[in-house]
Amino acid sequence: MASLSVGDIVLCSQIAYRLLTAATVGRKNAPRDLRELENVLLALSCSLSHLQNAVEIMSSRNCNPNPHAVDVQQNLGFMVRSCCTVLEDLERATAKYRDIIRASSAQMGGSNARFVKIKSQWRRFMWDFREESLTRYRQKLETHTTAINLILNTCIWSAADRIENNIRRQNQMMEMLLYQPSHLNGRFSALVHNVHLPDTSDHAESRLLSLLPALPEPTVR
């Protein structure tokens, strides 16, 4: 399975943007199904934009991903390409209707006749498109958008957990580094204390004498 690439995301975003731009023409006169499709296209465009930013950040770090990250990228790549296929099908299916409506909007200006003509074009569009309903495309695109957002949120939470674990390990290392000098300073202080305040007890005297070399006994002449 091919991994995720920025080019796939850009292509998918461009198609979604073209469809979204076409759907906003005469939106007030558009059927309800088409307005719902426009909302889904807007959500999908936002998700793809966030996904592109995340992929560019990961690519700029030049880090060796773990096997789990590779699997996530492959799954995202599959979903983006599948979403792109749905968008391409929708773009081909609505091409002639979008061109007619765009031309009508450019020619009629802001008159009432313009809105009447656009509304009639939308009715014709929905009548001819009935067998291949927009609802099917909308549901597919909603599924892709939800899946992309779910994986993105999972990656964000995983990254947050890794950051928290790294901070915890760093704090533990700092505590160890601070403990070692403190422990050594304590031993050094005890040594200095013993040097300046020697033990005068009998036990200390006997211990000191035991360390001295034995003196030879005097010879009798």
In a domain, 70, yes or no: yes
In a domain, 62, yes or no: yes
CA-nearest of 153, 16, 168 to 80 is 16
In a domain, 219, yes or no: no
In a domain, 128, yes or no: yes
Q: How high does pLDDT run on average in the chain?
A: 69
How many domains is the chain built from?
1
Encoding tokens for residue 14? 């461009």
Question: How far apart are alpha carbons 15 and 67 in whole angstroms?
Answer: 31
pTM > 0.75 = no
Give the pLDDT of residue 55. 79
In a domain, 15, yes or no: yes
Question: How far apart are alpha carbons 5 and 11 in whole angstroms?
Answer: 10
Question: How far apart are alpha carbons 77 and 59 in whole angstroms?
Answer: 14
- Range(s) of the domain holding residue 126: 6-165
Q: What is the DSSP string of 167-218?
A: HHHHHHHHHHHHHHHHHHHHHHHHHHHHHHS---SHHHHHHHHHHSPPPPPP
Sign, CA dihedral 160-165-168-169, equals: negative
In a domain, 218, yes or no: no
Encoding tokens for residue 212? 């001295």
* pLDDT tens for the 221 residues of the chain, in order: 566 778 888 888 888 888 877 766 555 556 677 778 888 888 998 888 888 888 777 766 655 555 666 677 777 888 888 999 998 988 887 777 666 655 555 555 555 555 556 556 655 665 556 545 678 888 889 998 988 888 888 777 666 556 666 677 776 676 666 666 555 566 556 555 555 545 555 555 555 455 445 545 555 55
In a domain, 117, yes or no: yes
**Percent of the chain at pLDDT exceeding 70:** 44
In a domain, 209, yes or no: no
